Structure 1
Amino acid sequence: MFLKKRMIATAAVIAMAAAAVYGSTQEMSQTQDTGERLQLFRAKETIYCWYSDEALSGYINAAAVSFGEQNKVRVIPVLTSDSEYLEAVNQETLHSDQIPDIYLLSSDSLEKAYLAGLATKVPDTEGICDTDHFSRAALAAVTYDDKIIGYPVYFDTSALVYNEDYLRTWATQQAEKELSGSSDNDEPVGEGEEIIEEDSLPEDQTTDQVTADEAAVNALAEQYFAKALPSTVDDLLNIADTFDAPEGVEGVMKWDVNNIFYNYWIVGNYMIVGGDPGDDRNDININNPETIQCLEVYKALNQFFFIESDTVTYDSVIQDFIDGKTMFTIGTTDVVKRLEDAKADGSLTFNYGIARMPDVSAELQSRSLSVTGAAVINGYSEHKELADRFAAYLSEEYADGLYERSGKMPASIHAAENADNGALTIFADEYADSVSLPKMLETGNFWMQLEVLFSKVWNGEDVTTLVQQLADNMSQQLGNTEN
């Protein structure tokens, strides 16, 4: 939940400094005992760190205390509203002597911040802005005009969530069908597998009387399960077509088809808006054959999964998954905590897993959308060197505690690798290959337009026409004459 008002009043800042930043109650009382120690406290270099997501409070406050103690400085966190957040940073910079020296900002707003002078190329005094510490996707997300102007702190992206117990059931079903010499299409599942011919059986037996040995079924089921995670959409459809769903299962897969975050993987590898950094106005490629093919696949999915777009929400599909009504869904990084909480309270009674998003087909690759939270140094700060060191501290050295304290996935490669939950590592892998939100001011409404396109495609409208319209709209907004 975001606060509704900016916390910039003097009393609020003093309270934050006392309660969450450098001086504990004991230290403050000891400092006030002597004028000399109080003067030393006041003389410490101080920076202000702004952020707008309350979920980050525990992390940023703890990092501020730790960094302050190590460096004998003060870092004062300021939680403010996300409404007109960058404008609030600008106003405070212009009219206050307690300007935000560092602030957390979504990567898609970096162009606006940079052009306003509120973001500057990071000095990278700690030498961490490289692929040893962050994925190429993370570095691209914080790059503008070929300059790194922020540190990647956390990210969000999407991945495939699956019911492991249902997937094992499906694997056993396929093993039984293969060993009994039948499948849904009356053909053996395995290529080159022998079919038991009725004429080859003893006279007192028929194929209907032949039952697979339990050990053989289990062994073959393990083979099916080992290869069960879908690598393409066709694999998903095969599971949907061959799964004998237990009672209570309403569908094989359901996801929020209204939200571009859970749809973009379909076209992410081919619908180019600004290139990987998302700031190149000459790298726009929306209307191309691959994008159209991908969207045709998406359109066909409605015939298999029958998701009612006017009633489905992200919360509803995750709840349906928890209730065992579906085998697959698409979730963002927050889903792990939600599933773990449901497991702890007993509402989730099965094993689950997280997997990379499947490719669209054997020929067409998928690529998920991501958003990166960046630590940005204010171009007007008088403490840029200290702000740079704290930004680096947030994104790398202290990043191991980010997920535990905020529920957000760290962009740091090392922190992601150290995550206790293997499901989180899958999200990190998906993020490493993702495409970030573009930074160009002219594309601010692109995602809204794209959501409209996906909605119309899902409901059966012509893909080619819709893609052409979107490309034309973007060309006009960007001032381009070619799509």
Structure 2
Amino acid sequence: MKILKRVTAVLLTAVVAVSFTACGGRSEHAKKLNIDTAVSINIWYQDDAYTSYLDYIAQQFHKANEFITVNPVKVEENNLLDAVYNGSIAQNNVADVYLMEASDMQRAYLMGLTAENDAYTQYYSQKHFPVTAVNAACYEGKLYGYPVTFHTAVMVYNKKYTTAPENFEQIEAFLNSYQVTDENKDVNMIVGWDTQDLWTNYAFGGSYVDNGGAQGEDAESDVQTEALKAAMTEYAALQNTFGIVDKTQEEYKQMFINNQLIYTILDSTQLADLNACGVDYGICAVPGAKTGFGTQSLSDTTLAMVNPYSENTDTAKAVAQAISYDYADLLEKDTGYISARTDVADKNKKVLYQPLYEVYAQSDSYAKYIGADEFYVRYSILLHNIWKGEDLNESVDAFIKAVSR
């Protein structure tokens, strides 16, 4: 197993600690725990975007608790849960805390890698997190995870030229009345998005399919056949109505940043790039293709999890809670990802992100049961076939047959 270790030094000089905080204006929330013997907590993660964030938490924890050393460990193994399990069984390389997607919850639970989140339950309510985040952290009615970040798909629009649309009929009306002026001369496309990506297209039929049941734990799916066929009919028509061309999400994002595109659909992980470039944009739910058609985006949530094999589960729970809650105001700045906690954004971001959190709260969470990926592969094939112009009834019927259990 290849592991890249990033161990925070046990001894940090006062000068370094003070200058790091003063220069960055960063939060100092580390809990003072009643620990009087040496404790080491390993945090395992795979996404390098979390490195600076976890390093800072490690530094702050040691600053507040001289006997605690927190070690962020970037794991190069393809399957994090297998690595956590193997290290735990060997008992010589234990991950005390690890980051995973909520969609892996059942597998983690069945592998015995989920300690219950029972020390900080008061923080994990809709006062601080959307219901989607809390549900994502649960399994079989118990809270295990600590929600950290999330991603879902939203429409973004250039506020210089337009407002949030309720449906694509309003975008069509905007297109039909559009006139080129000196102010909008850089615009060369009204609307476009990556039509090959599951996440940016899921919403068009998302209201009419369900995978995993209410909590995403049941290995079953439900499809409203006629409603889905009607929604897919309108979805397919968008291609000709707007002349949408094949481009990647990155290409459409750059067009939007350059004021060449007025509306697009992006994964929320891409919003950091919009913020960095200074474009004046708004966020809304992916609109229905036509009046009367609902949409529902897909979402997944990154969780901090505590390993019951840890020799210091109480301290590990404090660290997991810090990753999820105490330092959440630093998450977007350090990682580029948006915190699952709703009450930490500054005044401007709070207004900007309110529609995003509403989309997340009403989203369809990626199912947690083992084997759920098959449903999403089949649904992605359905969307692809519909967009290519293949027979709609045959495509939907084939999808339903493939996902029926």
Q: TM-score range by the shorter chain?
A: 0.7 to 0.9
Taking the TM superposition and a 5 Å limit, the aligned residue runs for 1:186-205 are none
Q: 2:335 aligns with which of 406, 411, 417?
A: 406
**Match of 2:8?**
17
Partner SS for 2:344: helix
Give deviations 1:307-338, integer Å, cap 9, x for gaps. 233xx111111112223322111112233321
Structure 1 Cα separation of the partners of residues 171 and 186 of structure 2: 20
**Match of 1:35?**
none
Q: 2:198 matched to 1:260?
A: yes
- Alignment CA distance shift 1:336-1:100 (3 Å): same
Q: 2:1 matched to 1:64?
A: no
Q: 2:243 aligns with which of 302, 306, 326?
A: 306
What is the CA-CA distance between 1:375 and the residue it aligns to? 0.6
Structure 2 Cα separation of the partners of residues 365 and 125 of structure 1: 36
Percent identical? 27
Q: Which one-letter code corresponds to 1:232 in the other structure? A: N
- Alignment CA distance shift 1:408-1:446 (3 Å): same
What is the CA-CA distance between 1:132 and the residue it aligns to? 1.6
**Match of 2:26?**
none
What is the CA-CA distance between 1:276 and the residue it aligns to? 3.9
Partner SS for 1:329: strand
Partner SS for 1:328: strand
Q: 2:314 matched to 1:385?
A: yes
What is the CA-CA distance between 1:27 and the residue it aligns to? 10
Partner SS for 1:442: coil
What is the CA-CA distance between 1:449 and the residue it aligns to? 2.2
Structure 2 Cα separation of the partners of residues 95 and 106 of structure 1: 24
Structure 2 Cα separation of the partners of residues 241 and 75 of structure 1: 58
Q: 2:231 matched to 1:294?
A: yes
What is the CA-CA distance between 1:102 and the residue it aligns to? 0.8
Q: Which one-letter code corresponds to 1:111 in the other structure? A: Q
- Give the CA RMSD over aligned residues: 2.5
Higher Cα Rg: structure 1 or 2?
1
Structure 2 Cα separation of the partners of residues 23 and 420 of structure 1: 36
- Alignment CA distance shift 1:82-1:268 (3 Å): farther
**Contact 1:157-1:370 at 8 Å conserved across structures:** yes
Q: Which one-letter code corresponds to 1:470 in the other structure? A: F
Identify which range, 252-261 or 132-141, moves more after superposition: 132-141
Structure 1 Cα separation of the partners of residues 134 and 164 of structure 2: 30
Structure 1 Cα separation of the partners of residues 187 and 398 of structure 2: 39
Q: Which one-letter code corresponds to 2:316 in the other structure? A: A
What is the CA-CA distance between 1:260 and the residue it aligns to? 0.8
**Contact 1:255-1:330 at 8 Å conserved across structures:** yes
Q: Which one-letter code corresponds to 1:44 in the other structure? A: A
Taking the TM superposition and a 5 Å limit, the aligned residue runs for 1:10-89 are 12=5, 16-18=7-9, 22-24=10-12, 43-72=37-66, 73-81=68-76, 83-89=78-84
Q: 2:399 aligns with which of 470, 475, 482?
A: 470
Partner SS for 2:264: strand
Identify which range, 47-56 or 408-417, moves more after superposition: 408-417
**Contact 1:287-1:467 at 8 Å conserved across structures:** no
**Contact 2:192-2:245 at 8 Å conserved across structures:** no
**Contact 1:118-1:379 at 8 Å conserved across structures:** yes
**Contact 1:416-1:428 at 8 Å conserved across structures:** no
Taking the TM superposition and a 5 Å limit, the aligned residue runs for 1:50-449 are 50-72=44-66, 73-81=68-76, 83-125=78-120, 127-167=122-162, 228-246=163-181, 247-282=185-220, 284-309=221-246, 312-343=247-278, 351-416=280-345, 420=349, 422-449=351-378
Partner SS for 1:293: helix
> More strand by proportion, 1 or 2?
2
What is the CA-CA distance between 1:157 and the residue it aligns to? 1.3
Structure 2 Cα separation of the partners of residues 46 and 331 of structure 1: 40
Q: Which one-letter code corresponds to 2:142 in the other structure? A: K
Taking the TM superposition and a 5 Å limit, the aligned residue runs for 1:449-460 are 449-460=378-389
Q: Which one-letter code corresponds to 1:59 in the other structure? A: Y
Partner SS for 2:123: coil
Q: Which one-letter code corresponds to 1:320 in the other structure? A: M
Q: Which one-letter code corresponds to 1:275 in the other structure? A: G
Partner SS for 1:127: helix
**Contact 1:333-1:424 at 8 Å conserved across structures:** no
- Alignment CA distance shift 1:401-1:55 (3 Å): same
**Contact 1:111-1:440 at 8 Å conserved across structures:** yes
- Alignment CA distance shift 1:147-1:71 (3 Å): same
**Contact 1:287-1:468 at 8 Å conserved across structures:** no
- Alignment CA distance shift 1:114-1:299 (3 Å): same
Structure 2 Cα separation of the partners of residues 391 and 57 of structure 1: 15
Structure 1 Cα separation of the partners of residues 206 and 258 of structure 2: 31
Give deviations 1:166-206, integer Å, cap 9, x for gaps. 32xxxxxxxxxxxxxxxxxxxxxxxxxxxxxxxxxxxxxxx
**Contact 2:118-2:143 at 8 Å conserved across structures:** no
Partner SS for 1:374: strand
Structure 2 Cα separation of the partners of residues 274 and 395 of structure 1: 25
* TM-score, with length taken from structure 2: 0.87
- Alignment CA distance shift 1:416-1:280 (3 Å): farther
Structure 1 Cα separation of the partners of residues 290 and 357 of structure 2: 23
- Alignment CA distance shift 1:24-1:125 (3 Å): same
**Match of 2:3?**
6
Segments of structure 1 that go 5 or more residues without pairing to the other structure are 29-40, 168-227, 344-349
**Contact 2:148-2:341 at 8 Å conserved across structures:** yes
